[in-house]
Structure 1
Amino acid sequence: MFLILFIFTSLLFVFYTSITEEQSRLNNHVKELNSQLENNEQETNNNFTIEISHLRSNVKELTSQLKNYKEETDSGLKRNVSALKESVGNITDGLKKIKNENIQEASCTSCPNGWQLIKSNCYYFQDEGVSWDRSQEECEKRNGVIVILKDKAELDSLLPTIGYQRYWLGLRRDNKDINNWLWADGSRLTFSAWNTGEPNNEHNSEHCAEILGGPKSMNDRNCEANIGYICKRAWTC
Structure 2
Amino acid sequence: MGEEITYADLRFHDTSHFSASRIVEMNLEVASSVPNQSHCRCLKKTYMTVGIVVGVLIISLLAMTVLFFQASNKQNYYHDRIERMAQTLANVKNDLCMRNEGEQKDACLLCPMNWVLIQKKCYYMPDKMLSWQESQRFCSAQNSSLAMPKTFEELELITCNFRRWITFSLWIGLSCSLKSNGRWVWLDNTTYSSYSSQCREIRCASFDYSPLLFTTCSTKLKLICQRLPINLPSIN
Shorter-normalised TM-score: what interval?
0.3 to 0.5
TM superposition score normalised by structure 1? 0.47
**Bigger-Rg structure (1/2):** 1
